[in-house]
Each structure stands twice: as C-alpha cells, then as structure tokens.
Structure 1
Amino acid sequence: MKTLQKTILTLAISLSTTYTFAQTAYEKAMMPKVQTIEMPKPNPDDYTAQANDFARIGDKEKTLWQPYYYAAFSILKKGRTLMQQNQIAQLDEVAKEAQNYIDKAEALSPNNAEIYILKKMNHGLKMMVNPMERYQTEGLAAQNALAEAKKLDPENPRITIMEAEDLYFTPEQFGGSKTKGIELFKKALEQFKTYKIKSSLDPNWGQGEANYFISQAK
C-alpha cells in the first residue's frame, strides 16, 4: 500500500511539474508580445507577422483563446493603419482574416466580452469601405456587438474606449461629438484604475489611446 501511495504521489508531482512548466513556457512565449501589443508598426505587414506569431502559439496550445484573440487584434490594427493610409480597398480582405481568428478565439471562449469588442472593431472596419452603403448592415452589427459586450462586462474600459471613438470620429451632424468623446476617454482611464483582468495575458490595452486623445484635446 505504501508503495502504491508513493507511486501515486510521485506521479502527481510529476504531472504538476509538467503542467507548471507548460504554463510557464506558454507565458514566456506570450508575455513579450502581449506587452508590446499597442506599439505601432512602421509597416502594415508587420502586423501580419505579429498575428502569425500569435496564431502559431494558438495552434500549439489548442485550448487557449488569448493567442487567437491577439492574432485578430493584430490584424485589426493592420486594418486601421491601412485605413489611415487611405488604402480602403484592402479592408474587406483584412476583415476576413481577422474574422478567422475571432472565430477561433470564440470557439474556445464563448460569451467573452473581449471577443465581442473585436467583433465590433471588425464590423466597423468593414463599414469604412463604404460607410453610406454599409451603415445599415456593418454599422448596426458593430453596435450590436458592443451592446453584447456591455451586457457581459459593463465596466470593461475597452467598451468605453469603443464608445469614445465612435463619438469622437462621427461628424456632429450625425450625432458625434469630440468633446463627449474626450469625456468617455477620461471615463475609461478611471475604469482602468479599478478594472481587474483575470490573468496577466488577458487584454489590457487602451490606456495609451485614451491618454493620446485626451492630450490632443489639451
């Protein structure tokens, strides 16, 4: 009996050590990339390379949603960069690529507010190809995705940042307001002070953007 107990204990310690090592290896692969996720890239294709790095980690781990989340987020940042460069014709293809990663993340973590925020961003990207024609489809889909995120996690500061962006960039004749947008960016910064992420690898971006727009207003 003592021999059996010793064998079970040895096996348990071995499995625990292996699990800890696997988690540590995963964190070591992810953490440097997550910590620099908000840094702008000089070339839009650099975001594709970043997404590929995250996707490879996701394909290896198979059960964790964060790598695919960050792969999608990287592609969305590529899309926003292309939009700023007025390369609108590429946005549909970029959105398709982002959606692929969003779907993979959602399959691993349903009813996740962070993933609904990505959906909001992706619908918004597709809308910008032709805002007048696509508002009734992509624009409303973006609003619905954000509303779902708010139901799931109402104090999430990234939701407030999405709302701030919408107000800030929408022309006043269509209900936008730079002043109210800045107020929401300030609200997001207050939310960041108390909002707790579940792990060190969960999304925590947005403070840099909020600070930037507030500084521009000054």
Structure 2
Amino acid sequence: MKKSLFTLALLAAGFGASAQTIPATTAAKTQVAMPAGYADLLGATITEVMNTGDAATLKGLASKLERAAAAAPADWLPRYYQAYALLINVFQSKEAADAKDKTLDQAEAALAQARKLGGDESELLTLQAYMYQARLGIAPQQRAQKYSAMVAETVGQAEKLNPANPRPYLVAANNVYYTPAMFGGGSEAARPLYEAAKARFAAFQPASALAPNWGQSQVLGRLRQYEMAATALPATH
C-alpha cells in the first residue's frame, strides 16, 4: 500500500510493451490499455488520499496522481482523484485565500481533463459542486450569494444524472447546513438531505474498486452529531 507512483513515472516508457487490457473504470463501455501494475499503484495512492487530513501530504499525493495520469492518459480516474486531493487540501490548508484559490484552479483544471476523458458525469459534477463550496468557504460573506446557488444547481444536475449516487446529496446537505437559517438553511433543514445520502450509501455499489466511493463516513459522522445533540437536550415535564 505504500508503493510510490514514482515507479509509474520511471517505467512509463516501458509500459507500452507490457500493457494489458483491462476494463475501464468509467461509465464508458469500452476497454483501455493500462500499464502493468497500474491499478495496484493507483489504488494504493487513492487509499492514501482517503486516509490523510494533512495538507502537505495531499499536495504530494496530487503530484503522484498527475504522474499516474501521464502513465495512463486514457484513464479519467487519476485526474479525478488529483482534483479531489487538491480540493481536500484547500479544506485542510492554513494558506491565504489567494493560495487556496490557485489550488482550486489546479483542481478544476484536473477535473476538466477527467471530463474530456469521459469520466462519470454525475461524479464529476458532484466534485465540481464541492469545489464551489470550497470557494465559498474561503470568503463566505463575499461569496455566499454567488457560490451557494452554483452548488445547488450543480448538485441538482448530478442527482438527475444518477439518482442513486449518494455524493450529490452529501454536498447538497453541506450546502444547506452552512447556509444561515434566515435564508432557508441550517442544521435541521439539512438533516433530511443527510438522511437521504445515508440511505443511498447503504444501497450504493461503486462501478469498480477504484471508482469514487467517498463520503459515507462524513454523512454518518454528521448524523451522529444530531443524535448526540438530541440526547443532550434536557428532559421536559
């Protein structure tokens, strides 16, 4: 699990001769040739991305994923996870607003590449909406009116494309949760969306071992907070 994708960069020239054809991890019905050992290395890096909250580590993993994309230029997943790693970096980073915006610019560029490669559009739209949330979080007072509406519109598109995908409901729930109650948001307004996401996660089956499958722990954590808040309320007589 700790193998480095530096291997992919060093051996990319030789991978062509030893490439094997495996099912593409996309919604497309075609097959693409992948370098030998590519899936294992990509899977290890994805696992690292999903199990760290360290901003610097996430930047490094994003660079690994960029090299993976160079080694397998037909696969959309390295670009998708590169975008995801950069996005989570922004949420964890203590950098200034300008630096965070530049990181999000890089994330959106990677996401655009994933789209050109025919990635799952519901997943791509969900990640785009999540990036809009990150933009909003950089300067909430100045950006709320613009980006909150963009989040809502984009997750709506993602839900329509794949109603079974739980991630749009998670991003939508977060958007409502952090919207002031006077504007129709707040904790209680968001709870049904978290419940909807939970139900979809229970039934969701990713398209492959490497396909997007993040977000369930975030949903369950939020719902536990609701339960803890309810048990902490004083009894009424």
Which TM-score tier does this pair reach, normalised by the shorter chain? Answer: 0.7 to 0.9
CA pair 201-111 structure 1, distance change in 2 beyond 3 A: closer
In structure 2, the partner of 1:190 is 199
What is the CA distance between 1:67 and its match in structure 2? 0.6
What is the CA distance between 1:171 and its match in structure 2? 1.9
SS in 2 for 1:167: helix
- Answering whether residue 174 of structure 2 is matched by residue 162 of structure 1, we say no
SS in 1 for 2:129: helix
From 176, 180, 188, give the equivalent of 2:189: 180
SS in 2 for 1:19: strand
What is the CA distance between 1:140 and its match in structure 2? 2.8
Distance in structure 2 (CA, Å) of the matches to 1:53 and 1:88? 25
With normalisation by structure 2, the TM-score equals 0.76
SS in 2 for 1:199: coil
Paired residue type of 2:21: Y
Distance in structure 2 (CA, Å) of the matches to 1:96 and 1:138? 15
Paired residue type of 2:47: Q
In structure 2, the partner of 1:101 is 110
In structure 2, the partner of 1:53 is 64
What is the CA distance between 1:111 and its match in structure 2? 6.3
Distance in structure 2 (CA, Å) of the matches to 1:104 and 1:170? 31
Paired residue type of 2:43: M
Give unpaired runs (5+ residues) of structure 1.
1-14
Q: How many residues align?
A: 201
Distance in structure 1 (CA, Å) of the matches to 2:156 and 2:215? 18
What is the CA distance between 1:87 and its match in structure 2? 4.2
What is the CA distance between 1:139 and its match in structure 2? 3.1
Distance in structure 2 (CA, Å) of the matches to 1:165 and 1:45? 25
With normalisation by structure 1, the TM-score equals 0.82
Q: Which structure 2 residues correspond to residues 125-136 of structure 1 after superposition, within 5 A?
A: 125-136=134-145
Is the Cα contact below 8 Å between 1:89 and 1:129 reproduced in 2? no
- Answering whether residue 49 of structure 2 is matched by residue 40 of structure 1, we say no
SS in 1 for 2:185: coil
What is the CA distance between 1:86 and its match in structure 2? 7.8
In structure 2, the partner of 1:64 is 75
What is the CA distance between 1:75 and its match in structure 2? 0.4
Percent identity for Structure 1 against Structure 2: 22
Distance in structure 2 (CA, Å) of the matches to 1:67 and 1:170? 32
Paired residue type of 1:207: Q
What is the CA distance between 1:117 and its match in structure 2? 0.9
In structure 2, the partner of 1:19 is 21
- The ranges of structure 1 where at least 4 consecutive aligned residues each deviate by more than 6 angstroms after the TM superposition are none
SS in 2 for 1:125: helix
Give unpaired runs (5+ residues) of structure 2.
1-16, 23-32, 229-237
